[in-house]
Structure formats: structure tokens, C-alpha cells
Amino acid sequence: MMNLLRLIGGRSGSAPVARERLQILLAHERGVGGSGAPELLEMLRSEILAVVSKHVDLDPEKVVVKMDRGKFVSMLEVDIEVPNATQRSKLVAAT
């Protein structure tokens, strides 16, 4: 069935996954101004994680810091997913 779908649909291999992973990774690495920026974003991310974690339990993987470069201004986007009570107990149980 997979083979048949592939034949008809064309693209359903691993390339779309590769493409998505790269886009996310490079958005991280590019940062503000060329090289040197990956460190800045990683620093921001770990410090933000440390501060918020003092007060709320977080899954470190759900803290995303992105920088979108624009011609005149850049946008620093901080996306923190806070688990609700039931998910939190699951998280605690898992660890």
C-alpha cells in the first residue's frame, strides 16, 4: 500500500522531514548577524529556561527561541510551552 501511494503521490519519502528539520535548525543558527549568533541564541534560551523554571515546571525541549532577520528590524520570538496540571503530573511520573 505504501508503495502504491508513493507511486501515485510522488513525494512521500524522507525528504520532507529533512527539509523541515533543516528549516527549524537553521532558523536557530542564523540568529542576528551571521556567524557567532548561534551562541547568542543558545545563551538566551538557557537563561530564559533557567529563570522560568524557578517558578514553573517546563519541558526544556518546549522552549524555542528564534530570531527572524528582517531588513530593518529583527524579530526575537520566544515560545514556551507550559504544561497544564495533568500533563505536569505525567511529566513528573515519567522522570
Partner 1 sequence: MAKVLVVTSGKGGVGKTTSTAALGAALAQAGQSVVVIDFDVGLRNLDLVMGAERRVVFDLINVVQGVAKLSQALIRDKRLENLWLIPASQTRDKDALTDEGVRRVINELRTKFDWILCDSPAGIERGATLAMRYADEAVIVTNPEVSSVRDSDRIIGMLDSKTAKAERGERVEKHLLVTRYDASRASRGEMLSIDDILEILATPLLGIIPESQDVLRASNVGCPVTLNSTTSAPARAYMDAVRRLMGETVPMTVPVERKGLMNRLLRRRAA
**Residue labelled with grid coordinates 513525494:** 11
Options 13, 51, 61, 75; binder of partner 1; rule CB under 8 A? 13
**Beta strand spans in the chain (E):** 63-68, 75-80
Choose, by CB under 8 A, the member of 16, 47, 53, 78 that binds partner 1.
16
Size of the site for partner 1 (CB under 8 A): 22
Q: Does 1 bind partner 1 (CB under 8 A)?
A: no
Taking each helix axis from N to C end, the angle separating 37-53 and 15-30, rounded to the nearest 10 degrees, works out to 90
Specify the residue for cell string 513528573: 92
Contacts (CB under 8 A) with partner 1, residues 25-64:
25-26, 29-30, 33-35
Give the residue from 82, 67, 86 showing the smallest Cα distance to 28: 67
Which residues bind to partner 1, rule: CB under 8 A? Answer: 3, 6-7, 10-16, 18-19, 21-23, 25-26, 29-30, 33-35
